[in-house]
Structure 1
């Protein structure tokens, strides 16, 4: 990956037409560069898609104050369950922000209630965003490969982050909400394009600190 400098980020804040083109280009880049590492959630039973890894990383989403996961988060957790039961992951990281609705601990609780042993789950309580979640996984001793579990529109950015910080990463994506809540899906896809700018800023800061 080419070095990212702060001045490169600043370009994205230029004239609106140029910004639009660059945002689209960035989205295309993340999609193309990760295409062979992304797998649909519908095929978790396929022997080769996705490949089995020791660790799965469930990225957080909204948890209601009652402790009930939002439809988006429930889809991620149910997909993690499928992967675990199919032997595609043996351990799970649940990443969410605490103490905001006890997101990570409630995610773990959801999985334990459905049969995942508690000692197979690691809770990341500082998962404030995708970058932080990937950094947490990278810091776990012995973790070099991970299966990222989220909605499929989220995977290109998440996998790009993982690869940029030294992880071999695959992604399994839920697509059910595309049909069940198309308006929310389209909104999230649009937000993802903007989130790519933050990804570049996070990676640029990391490179600056390591320089």
Structure 2
């Protein structure tokens, strides 16, 4: 039999471990939000000039057209381009199968809005935020950029890109108040865990992307 004090000791440690595990995602999210606060913008007029805008994929409808979230991201890049705040746009997303091609859909959307095709580059293997940032630096040679995504996702995107060698700022498109509350609750909960994964990736594991390939350069 274990002494009563030892049983109480281990129970306390177990409770504290559980509490610590539950609090970790919230603490890391707060940390990354504070760390990237001065690098994130919600008003397009405030976004500094950068050579490149990086637009992250966010899904397609069954007919191959961008979802509303993705359309907002692309529109943000189009608006920055037309204002002269960026010179080039990198569309990064999922082209894991021939039938599903986010980046071409993103390119066509921007071309339809008047962006010349020679100012758009495509990253067909941006399967995650981490992989998109990694490939932007290693494959496309991007050293500084403005990242475009919804506000809930922007702190993590800016944090990852900065840690992978890109001097990144971000332009956050609307999310809460524009999209359904149940959808935003889902995305926000998922983001809590995604931030934990991001910290492990950039500080401990540093995994290679699914695909690398030869250097392409952005210009």
Distance in 1 (alpha carbons) for counterparts of 2:58 and 2:178? 19
Comparing 77-86 with 179-188, greater Cα deviation is found at: 179-188
Q: Which residue of 1 aligns with 2:5?
A: none
Distance in 1 (alpha carbons) for counterparts of 2:68 and 2:140? 32
| Kept in 2: contact 1:65–1:101 (CA 8 A) | no
2:160 is aligned with 1:158: no
Cα gap change, 1:80 to 1:141, in 2 (>3 Å): closer
Cα gap change, 1:70 to 1:142, in 2 (>3 Å): closer
Note the C-alpha offset of 1:181: 2.0
Note the C-alpha offset of 1:144: 1.0
2:21 is aligned with 1:19: yes
Q: 1:63 aligns with which of 40, 60, 64?
A: 60
Rg comparison, structure with higher value: 2
Q: Which residue of 2 aligns with 1:50?
A: 47
RMSD of equivalent CA atoms = 1.9
| Kept in 1: contact 2:158–2:170 (CA 8 A) | yes
**5+ residue gaps, structure 1:** 1-13
TM-score calculated relative to the size of structure 1 = 0.84
| Kept in 1: contact 2:145–2:168 (CA 8 A) | yes
| Kept in 1: contact 2:151–2:175 (CA 8 A) | no
Distance in 2 (alpha carbons) for counterparts of 1:166 and 1:87? 24
Distance in 2 (alpha carbons) for counterparts of 1:194 and 1:58? 22
Q: Which residue of 2 aligns with 1:175?
A: 174
| Kept in 2: contact 1:178–1:185 (CA 8 A) | no
User: What SS is found at the alignment partner of 1:101?
Assistant: coil
TM-score calculated relative to the size of structure 2 = 0.81
Cα gap change, 1:200 to 1:180, in 2 (>3 Å): closer
2:197 is aligned with 1:198: yes
Note the C-alpha offset of 1:15: 4.4
Distance in 2 (alpha carbons) for counterparts of 1:15 and 1:96? 37
Q: Which residue of 1 aligns with 2:90?
A: 93
Note the C-alpha offset of 1:177: 5.2
Q: Which residue of 1 aligns with 2:77?
A: 80
Cα gap change, 1:161 to 1:176, in 2 (>3 Å): closer
User: What SS is found at the alignment partner of 2:101?
Assistant: helix
Say how many residue pairs are matched: 190
Q: Which residue of 1 aligns with 2:142?
A: 143
